[in-house]
Amino acid sequence: MNLPSPWEGEHMTWAKELEELRAREALAEQMGGADKVARQHGRGKMDARARLAALCDEGSFREIGKIAGSAKYDANGDLQSVTPAPFLFGKATINGRPVVATADDFTIRGGAADAGIARKMVQAEMMAHQLKLPIIRMIDGTGGGGSVKTLEQIGATYIPAVPGWGDVVTNLDTVPVVALALGPTAGLGAARTVASHYSIMVKGLSQIFAAGPAVVDGLGAAYKGGAANHEEAKETLGGSAIHTRNGVVDDEVASEAEAFARARHFLSFMPEYVGQPARRAACDDPADRREEALLSLVPRDAKQVYSMRRCMEMLFDTGTVFEIGKHWGRAAITAFARLDGWPVCVIASDPSYLGGSWEAKTSEKVERFVRLADQFRLPVVHLVDNPGFMIGREAEMAGTIRYGVNAMNAIYRATVPLASVVLRRAYGIAGSAMSNAERYQYRYCWPSGDWGSLPIAGGLEVAYKAELEAADDPAALLEEIRERLAKVTSPFRSAERYNVEDIIDPRDTRPLLCEFAGLAWRRLGAD
């Protein structure tokens, strides 16, 4: 006797429910509605779904919680409408590797969290560290408690709390976190931007504030600063020209497309989680390449500057230098790069800014970057031309020595391999922070090296004050002293006593650094 399958027949199918699912998904895809989506586009901004499609590998985004939102039903309990949650997330791939991708939807209540379901955002953050996946936040709006009007609807106020912030903190310790500010971000939105390993703003499109202009104005602090309108006021208060110069955000770009490209590029240097080795890339740039131009890079005149960025382009694999934080802490360049395909973190003095002297912001920048390198187990290459910490009253007022020592401490705490190349100056405590002197010094010095506890030029008159005052011709004596000391300060005298390990031909720098990278990654356990 043949019985009908329980999966056959019209009474056993779920066609009606699937039809409802598709209808709800279609409603979710409308976001805040055609008018609000058009308004978003009219501001020169992509909508949340277009952003996810542009950021992730084509066709890889699988949305989670798509139909979540605020629904209205008629008297019969039938669905009338759905306002989707203003937060989208899901699993995707970037550069072929799995990630958690998220996007705020500004077309729904300006991306305010109180218009949605807090658990979605919490789950996205939780998913990242529990499954060991990098997370990318595309932030547009407050992402927080919404407006004062909400309080009237609730009927009470509350002591602030941020659901899931513990997961945000855990992610900072476990996986790469990238934040893209793609519109005005205030409150929790601003906090989510800053709580990242790499952050980006779009010039003219993004602003970041603890509170927006209207709130600032309402509390009695004028915000306009000569601005003609609200849009201008937002830029004056929290535009990219402010926050990429003070270190709140790492980078400024000209378009959303550029922001997505830089996010993808950053992740290409990163492992997927703390403890996993980062990946070596294919490389057709010879490890033994010697650049003739390096021989004349550093001028003989100590007061002349040169381009450290040009130096970096010659040393590292062609086209791989990826600088971050270019507009703040400018006495030091921080970048990712590759050597024979191996990823490394680079700290490089910039003699074109303050002569390369570390002031407070530069020291803060170095500290943060070294901690990032150590956390994600990336070797460090330090290109040194450092005349010391910035001096003077302004430097003292800024607390330079505090920030400088913090940077030095970060270098001493780091456990990843570090190689330093002294191109010219290394003076004082800042000069000593090129590496941990209590570990094996993987260090090379160029013949242009100039180092000591303090610059000779700044201490001659003090050290030889009595002799100079007694001399018939103080100027001639001073010149004689300078000539004598020039011989004593020769880098070869240091090498004689093994105060420096090796003085090298600058043209040999790349081959030696490629050797270092191979040895470093051997120690770090890369395949």
Q: Averaged over 43-67, what is the pLDDT?
A: 96
Q: How does residue 481 score in pLDDT terms, banded at 50, 70 and 90?
A: confident
Does residue 231 carry a pLDDT above 80?
A: no
Does residue 421 carry a pLDDT above 90?
A: yes
pLDDT tens for residues 288-346?
999 999 999 999 988 899 999 999 999 999 999 999 999 999 999 999 999 999 999 99
Q: How far apart are CA 55 and CA 75, in angstroms?
A: 42
Does residue 190 carry a pLDDT above 60?
A: yes
Map out the domains of the chain with their CATH numbers.
46-66+85-268 (3.90.226.10), 292-524 (3.90.226.10)
Number of alpha carbons in the 13 Å side-chain half-sphere of residue 316? 27
Give Cα separations from 478 to 32, 451, 466, 468 (angstroms): 77, 20, 12, 7
Average pLDDT across the chain, whole number: 88
Q: Averaged over 130-155, what is the pLDDT?
A: 78
Q: Percent of the chain having pLDDT more than 70?
A: 87
Name the more confident of 266 and 148: 266
Q: Averaged over 118-145, what is the pLDDT?
A: 90
Residue 115 is classified by DSSP as: G
List the single range of 10-19, 32-41, 465-474 with lowest mean pLDDT: 465-474
Does residue 218 carry a pLDDT above 50?
A: no
Q: How does residue 360 score in pLDDT terms, banded at 50, 70 and 90?
A: very high
Q: How does residue 524 score in pLDDT terms, banded at 50, 70 and 90?
A: very high
Instruction: Supply the pLDDT for residue 212.
Output: 56
Please report the DSSP string for 292-356 in residue order. Answer: GGGGGSS-SSTT----HHHHHHHHSSTT--EEE-TTSSTTEEEEEEEETTEEEEEEEE-TTSGGG
Q: How does residue 403 score in pLDDT terms, banded at 50, 70 and 90?
A: very high
Does residue 5 carry a pLDDT above 70?
A: no
User: β-strand 380-386 against 442-445: which pairing, if any?
Assistant: unpaired
Q: How far apart are CA 439 and CA 430, in angstroms?
A: 17
Which pair of structure tokens corresponds to residue 41?
């586009």
- The candidate with the shortest Cα–Cα distance to 371, out of 339, 413, 403, is 413
Q: How does residue 219 score in pLDDT terms, banded at 50, 70 and 90?
A: very low
Location of structure tokens 């903190």: 169
Residue 71: what are its φ and ψ, rounded to 5°?
A: -105, 155
Instruction: Supply the pLDDT for residue 434.
Output: 87
List the single range of 405-409, 432-436, 519-523 with lowest mean pLDDT: 432-436
**Counting beta carbons within 10 angstroms of the beta carbon of residue 203, is it exposed (0 to 12), middle (13 to 18) or buried (19 or more)?**
middle
Instruction: Supply the pLDDT for residue 116.
Output: 54
User: Do 392 and 428 contact (CB within 8 A), yes or no?
Assistant: no
List the single range of 30-39, 143-152, 283-292, 295-304 with lowest mean pLDDT: 143-152
List the single range of 117-121, 244-248, 258-262, 474-478 with lowest mean pLDDT: 474-478
Distance of CA 476 to the CA centre of its chain: 52
Q: In whole angstroms, how large is the CA radius of gyration of the chain?
A: 29
Instruction: Supply the pLDDT for residue 470.
Output: 79
List the single range of 25-39, 189-203, 206-220, 384-398 with lowest mean pLDDT: 206-220
pLDDT tens for residues 264-293?
999 999 999 999 999 999 999 999 999 999
List the single range of 7-16, 23-32, 174-183, 463-472 with lowest mean pLDDT: 7-16
Name the more confident of 233 and 169: 169
Q: Percent of the chain having pLDDT more than 90?
A: 63
Q: How does residue 222 score in pLDDT terms, banded at 50, 70 and 90?
A: low
Q: How does residue 168 score in pLDDT terms, banded at 50, 70 and 90?
A: very high
The H or E element containing residue 269 is helix 256-269
